[in-house]
Amino acid sequence: MNTTLFLAVFIAYFLVLTGISRLVSRKSGTDAFYTGDRESPWPLVAYGMIGAAMSGVTFVSIPGMVSNNFLYYFQFVIGNMIGYSFIVFVLIPIYYKLKLVSIYTYLSNRFGFYSYKIGSLFFILSQSFGAALRLLLGVKVLDYALFDPLGIPFHVAVVIILVIIWLYTNKSGIKTIVWTDALQTTFLITAAIVSIFAIQDAMDLSFSQTIDTMTSHKYFQIFDWDPKSGNNFFKQIIAGILIAIAMMGLDQNMMQKTLTCKSPSDAQKNALVFSFILAITQFLFLCLGVLLYIYAENNGISLSVDENGTFLNTDDLFPMLALNNFGMAGAITFILGITAAAFSSVDSSLTALTTSFSYDFLGMEKKSAQKKKKTKNMVLLGFNLVVFAIMSAFANSTGDIITSIFKVAGYTYGPLLGLFLLGIFTKIKIRDQYTPIICVIAPILTYIINEGLIHYFNFDLGFMNIFINALITVVFLVLFRTKDHWQFTDKKK
């Protein structure tokens, strides 16, 4: 590895991001940090959101997870694409009709104060952990390739990354991120393509031979029909639908970008195009994963396994090969890709967290322009410290992080999903004061049910825990309704 060259690439990349930030910030309005002044071109938003959705975790974990999960993850991706249709035709029109900045304001309008606050709080909890874990993996790779060889301690490296993100996002926030994400998506996809061609060249295969070698390998299995498996087709499809709705449609981070589009129709086109590009990109990374393991097998590269034959530390495979075996072009594009993936997911997460907390808990819309700026800076700094603390706590974690993130999401986004579905599709009125208790009980019961099914029946809910979680939330909310009847309503109400 050429540490000096990697450092030069890293610094150049930071300077480009800073330059984009300065250009975009010149004519920014008071609320540009939160709304992007609602003038973002939808094709740019759709393309840039790929980088934020993929993140450093996906960039490294999707190829690595192939050894233990084959291509079963793509079933989940198919479910995601179906879930996006709900976001496009149901959620986006509601958000634009209500002119929301924080999407959780909907819960206040529909149910009341406590539902609104607990919904936003669940998002803040989920997003803080998710952002920290996504950035953690990216920083670990950069630490291996860049910071550690320079003698920079891991915690200092984390601070450096967070300061860099703050420097190019603190002024115009989401307005800057819409543009920087597009650049970062390009580097992310380029890194995967260059790695595929590096493997093809190293194994002296033509393009068609590479396809045949990959598709004939034992890992190239997309569908799992075992009803007890957590990777079962139907479980993954349903979970993919619900998690797409929850982690995209009910997530301030992702929807904040969509709501910067000029009109509802532009936002809908953005979400549809984004869903297709994301699915193609994720399949590309799964195929890359198969090729990485084929390369490792052909070159006698040993990988750690446990007593059950399960591969360990699968997140290390792609960085190890890209930085040491794929030549200078492969190493440089990988550094750019992992840097882009880490930055693009966390910069938008910090902006979304700042937006949600400022509007949902601090009444930002009522403040003067001067107070808005001061409050925004303080809240943004606070969430940087929160992310740093979480990363420090999980610094020694191992395994593929992406599975952990989606499992945690099933517990934290389940109550949000239940609240929004009940609010959109029924006219039921609930006893708002009980909502926080219900939203805490539902994930606990879901965990107990899942562990019981595994222990007694060897049946793993997998990502389906979000369905059980949302269902329990809805059942309890209905039991604590204020009226004796409830009915389905027009979804646009």
For 335-359, how does the pLDDT look when each residue is reduced to its tens digit (9 = 90+)?
Answer: 888 887 777 767 878 888 888 898 8
Provide the pLDDT for residue 492: 46
- DSSP-derived letter for residue 275 is H
Spatial distance between the Cα atoms of 137 and 3, rounded to a whole number of angstroms: 19
Residues of the chain with pLDDT > 70, as a percent, come to 91
| Res 37: pLDDT | 61
Name 252's Cβ contacts closer than 8 Å, sequence gap at least 6: 102, 103, 104, 123, 127, 352, 353, 355, 356
pTM across the whole model: 0.77
List, in sequence order, every residue forming a beta bridge with 261; answer none if it has no partner: 40
CA 223, CA 107: separation in Å to the nearest integer? Answer: 37
Amino acid 29: pLDDT: 57
Between 471 and 350, residue with greater pLDDT: 471
Mean pLDDT over residues 151-174, rounded? Answer: 84
Q: Report pLDDT digits (tens) over 1-35.
A: 578 888 888 888 888 888 887 887 776 655 666 56
Q: Give the pLDDT score at 493.
A: 41
Local confidence band at 489 (pLDDT 50, 70, 90 cut-offs): very low
- Distance (Å, rounded) from C-alpha 52 to C-alpha 42? 15
Q: Per-residue pLDDT for 366 more than 90?
A: no
The packing angle between helices 113-142 and 42-69, to 10°, is: 70
The span from the CA of 9 to the CA of 334, in Å, is 11
Contact 428, 462 (CB under 8 A): no
Do residues 84 and 248 touch, judged by C-beta distance below 8 A?
A: yes
Residue 391 binned pLDDT confidence (cut-offs 50, 70, 90): confident
Which residues on adjacent β-strands are paired with residue 430? Answer: 481
* Residue 465 · residue 412 · CB < 8 Å: no
From 64-73, 122-131, 206-215, the region with the lowest mean pLDDT: 122-131
Give φ, ψ of 363 to 5 degrees: 60, 45
Residue 210 confidence (pLDDT): 93
Strand partners, 40: 261
**Inter-residue contact 143 to 414 (CB < 8 Å):** no
Q: How confident is the prediction for the chain on average, in pLDDT?
A: 85
Burial zone of 369 (CB within 10 Å; 0-12 exposed, 13-18 middle, 19+ buried) = exposed
User: Can you say whether residue 173 is alpha, beta or left, with left for phi > 0 and alpha for psi between -120 and 50 degrees?
Assistant: left
Alpha carbons 54 and 275: distance in angstroms, whole number: 12
